[in-house]
Each structure stands twice: as C-alpha cells, then as structure tokens.
Amino acid sequence: MAKPFYLTTPLYYVNARPHIGHAYTTVVADCLARAHRQRGEMVFLLTGTDEHGEKIEQAAKSKGISAKEFVDQTSDTFRSLWKGLEISYDHFIRTSDPAHQLLVQKVLERLKPQLELGSYKFWYCVPCETSFGLREIDAAKPLCPQCGRPVSQIEEEDYFLPLEKHRAWLKGYIQQNPDFIRPESRRNEVLAMLTDELPALCVTRPKERVPWGIPVPFSPKHTTYVWFDALINYISALDWPDDGKFHRYWEEAGAIHLVGKDIIRHHCLYWPVILHALEIKPPKMIFAHGWWLVKGEKMSKSKGNIVDPQAVVEAYGLDAFRYFLMRDVPFGEDGVFSEEALVKRINSDLANDLGNLVYRTLTMLEKHTGGKVPGGKPDARISSQIQAAEQGVWVGLQQIAPAQALKALWELINHANHLVEEKAPWTLAKENRRLELEDFMHQLADVVRALALLLWPFLPTAAESIWKQLGYSGKLSAERLPSALSAHIPAGQQIQKGKPLFPRLQ
Ligand SMILES: [Zn+2]
C-alpha cells in the first residue's frame, strides 16, 4: 500500500474575490501534492470554501441576492481560478455541502456534554468573524488585534467550549513537538498566547443575529459559529468518524495544514483543543506562511491594493507566476510583490538560465546530430549532479521550503550551462570530434530530461513542454521518482524543438 500524504489549504472565505494570498497557499500546496504523487505516495490535497456567517449574509444582501446564490457564485470563482492555476486538488469541500453540515452537527452533539451555556460579553470583529476576550483588547482603544479595525462589544446567550482546561496539555504538546507549529516565530507566538488563562470559545451564534449558519441540533435558537464550522472541514472531508479515509489520512499520514499567519489563533489554539475535546489526535503540522506586501502594505480590500492572480497570469504566464511565488521569498516570511521583481525573475532565472539551456540544447541537437538524440556514454559527474539536484529538491519540499528546493534545481541548470561553455560542442563539431560531441550531447539531453522531471511539480506547463520537445509522447505526470531519474534518454529519439519557453521581457 502506498504511503498516504494529507495536505490542506485553509477554506477560503467567500466574501470577496480571491487574491494573490489565496493563490500563494494553494500553489505551494499543489506543488507539494504533485511532488509527493510523483514519488508514488497516495496524496489527498484538500481545499474549498468557507461559506457561512454574518459577513456573507451582508455581502449577499448588498448584491440583492440570497446567501445561497451568493456563495454559489463566489465559490465558483475560486474553482475556476484553481483550474487556471492548474491546481491538482483531490477534493473541493464547501461548508454548505449537506454532508459537511450533518457532520458539524454530529460534532456538536458529541461535544454537548462539554459545552457551557452562558451569557457572555466579548469583543467582536465582524470582518474577521473573530471574538476576543475582554482582557485582550484595550477598552479605551477597541481595535481588532488582527486587522486593526474597530471591534464592538457584544453580550448574548451562547454555547461555549472551555479552552482553559486544555491549556496545559496544548502547551506541553507544542513544547514536545518542535515541528507541530512552523516556522519557529509562529510557534513562539502561539506559546505566548498560552501563558495566560484562555477565554472559552463561543461555538454558537444566536440565530436571530446570524441566521446564515449550520443549525445547532440541540438548540433551535442557535446557529454554529462560522470558524468552528470551517475548521471541522479537515475531518469532515475524510468522513470522520468512519474508518477508511480518516484512518489513512488523519491517523496514519497526519494532516499538514498550510495557513496564512493571520489565522494561527484559529488553527494552533482552537483547532487542536476542539480535536482534543473530541479525543482526536492533533494534526502533524501547521505551517503558517507570511504575507505578500504591495508597496510596503498588506493587501486589503479597503486599501484597494489587491493583486488579482488571474490578471498576473494573463500578463506573464502561469509558470512565471508560480515560479515567482515559490522562489522569491522563503515560505514563512513576508514578501514584496511587484511587477519589477517578477520581470527580474523571469529574465534572469527563467529566460536566461532555464529557457536558454533548453533552447540551446535542442538547437544543437538539430544542428549537430540531425534532430535525433545520439547514443553516448553517461558521465559520472553529470549523473551525480542530477542526483544531488533530486535530493536537494526533495529535502527542500519535505521541509516545506520550495524556494530552497528551487535553488537546488537551479544549481543543476547553472552547472549544465557552464558545461556547455566549457565543452563548446560547436568547436567539437567544427573539429569533427564526433564521439566526444555525441557523448556530450547525450549527456546534455539527459540533464534537460531530468529538469523536466524535477520541474514538473513547480512549473507543470513548462515541464510538459520540455518533455514533448525532447520527443516523449507519454505523460510526464506518469513518471515516478527517483527511479525515472536514473534512466537515460533513448538514443535515436527524434526531438520536437519548439519556441523558447520564456522569452525575455523588456
Ligand atoms: Zn479584525
């Protein structure tokens, strides 16, 4: 049985159109999923949309349509964006799915003995759909710690899940499992949240105030808090508590949740406690990435500085966009998005290094060996460089460090470009040193072949194109690593040179 691998993106809240931040998490998740599939693992990549809560209802009202019509439209926008970005998810869950709603109700029934009904006062941020304890916000300056917008104080009768009794357990768990919350800076932030008593988590909302939510099975006056509803998706998509998928992906593989750093409170505090209360083990890892800043500021609707991923892809191509997101900034840190930086990456890394290597290799094969791959001796140095690149890529991806993985891959590209200069196949041809020329051209074709295999999780379109240009007719996605990398390109294979992969931009 293949090794299972379970990876999730957050469920994206459908109150607004997707932006580059959504695309970022999802592109990295897709790359990881592809790399694990390529190594023969049984992958389950989950994404979807979070569709309840008062903000959705408000947004629907402002458009003059029902909440259901609104979420159908916006959820579609996300799905069509993922299609355009070639996201290979295995399941797209919507919190309005009947099966998910039933499961949330099942979870609430199971937690009922632990829930407390009470009248509570709290600070509430409507845009973030997040409540804060009275002591967490300065009453003299009531602003949301997450988004900086004004919060209001609310008092209502709701069901609460006490968190305090789980605090010592969670703190100990985080301390004993250094990889549970990554990167280190976020882990420290969560540990700091655990130094003081934790206010209980309100898991319901009065139906009168928030009718657009999952009905609470034991209280007709209440609907389910949208964040509680959304977090449950990670197990409802696996049909918990049925064995099968849940056992394979949650218990055996362990979940890896990719999230943005603005939602660590929900994922690193609330979620492990909900699971602990249900006697379900915590996820394997929660990795919080940084933000893309535009001109020094976080993107937001109110600032009007949102970068539309679709527009970037239309202007610069999908592979360039995916490459920039994964290469420009280490996953976990904040990055700066600008067209200048994107163009610089395209020209130096994609056009100059990768595109040039592929194009000149195919051109030389056309010119010097009649468009066919010559037979030739493999070279030990080149084989070991390919192997080193494979290892560097895989180590980087297992560390959830795509930038590091790409650096390892570019070392191979740079080595090969140097080697072309050093060997000067055009001189070998001129001096009619056929054996040397054929050996080298075969080796170079092997490097380009390895590049297609290793690039595929990152830049699927470019990789498929390289594969076809090398004359392969089969699907690149069907190749398995590392075994495919020790094979050589067949002598006599007819290449199909195309246009340069990445033309230089002005
Ligand atoms: Zn807020």
List the domains of the chain with CATH numbers. Answer: 339-486 (1.10.730.10)
* Angstrom distances, CA of residue 41 to CA of 5, 33, 216, 253: 7, 9, 38, 10
pLDDT of residue 299: 66
pLDDT of residue 414: 98
Q: Which of 213, 192, 189 is nearest to 202 (CA)?
A: 213
Separation of CA 103 and ligand 1 centre (Å): 28
Separation of CA 136 and ligand 1 centre (Å): 13
Separation of CA 31 and ligand 1 centre (Å): 31
Separation of CA 269 and ligand 1 centre (Å): 17
Separation of CA 126 and ligand 1 centre (Å): 7
Separation of CA 310 and ligand 1 centre (Å): 27
pLDDT of residue 301: 64
pLDDT digits (tens, 9 = 90+) for 304-315: 777 899 999 999
Which positions ≥6 away from 76 have C-beta within 8 Å? none
Separation of CA 486 and ligand 1 centre (Å): 52
Separation of CA 118 and ligand 1 centre (Å): 24
Separation of CA 165 and ligand 1 centre (Å): 26
| Pairing of β 42-50 and β 285-289 | unpaired
Separation of CA 209 and ligand 1 centre (Å): 19
Cβ pair 350, 317 in contact under 8 A: no
Separation of CA 139 and ligand 1 centre (Å): 15
Cβ pair 456, 389 in contact under 8 A: no
Q: What is the DSSP letter of 493?
A: P
Separation of CA 357 and ligand 1 centre (Å): 48
- The reply to whether omega before 217 is within 30° of 0 (cis) is no
Separation of CA 400 and ligand 1 centre (Å): 28
State residue 143 phi and psi, 5-degree precision.
Answer: -120, 145
Instruction: For the chain, report the end-to-end CA distance as a whole number of angstroms.
Output: 51
pLDDT digits (tens, 9 = 90+) for 269-327: 999 999 999 999 999 999 999 999 988 777 666 677 778 999 999 999 999 999 999 99
pLDDT of residue 16: 80
Separation of CA 147 and ligand 1 centre (Å): 4
Separation of CA 188 and ligand 1 centre (Å): 22
366 vs 497: CA distance, rounded Å: 8
* Angstrom distances, CA of residue 303 to CA of 23, 211, 306: 19, 30, 8
Averaged pLDDT in 10-residue chunks for the chain of 506 residues:
96 90 97 98 98 89 94 97 97 98 98 93 82 85 91 93 97 98 98 94 91 97 97 98 96 98 96 98 98 80 79 94 98 94 96 98 97 93 96 98 98 98 97 97 97 98 98 96 94 96 92
Separation of CA 125 and ligand 1 centre (Å): 5
Separation of CA 302 and ligand 1 centre (Å): 12
Give Rg (Cα) of the chain.
26
Separation of CA 148 and ligand 1 centre (Å): 6
Separation of CA 338 and ligand 1 centre (Å): 26
Alpha helix positions (H), 64-162? 67-84, 98-111
pLDDT of residue 208: 87
Separation of CA 150 and ligand 1 centre (Å): 8
Separation of CA 81 and ligand 1 centre (Å): 26
Separation of CA 473 and ligand 1 centre (Å): 52
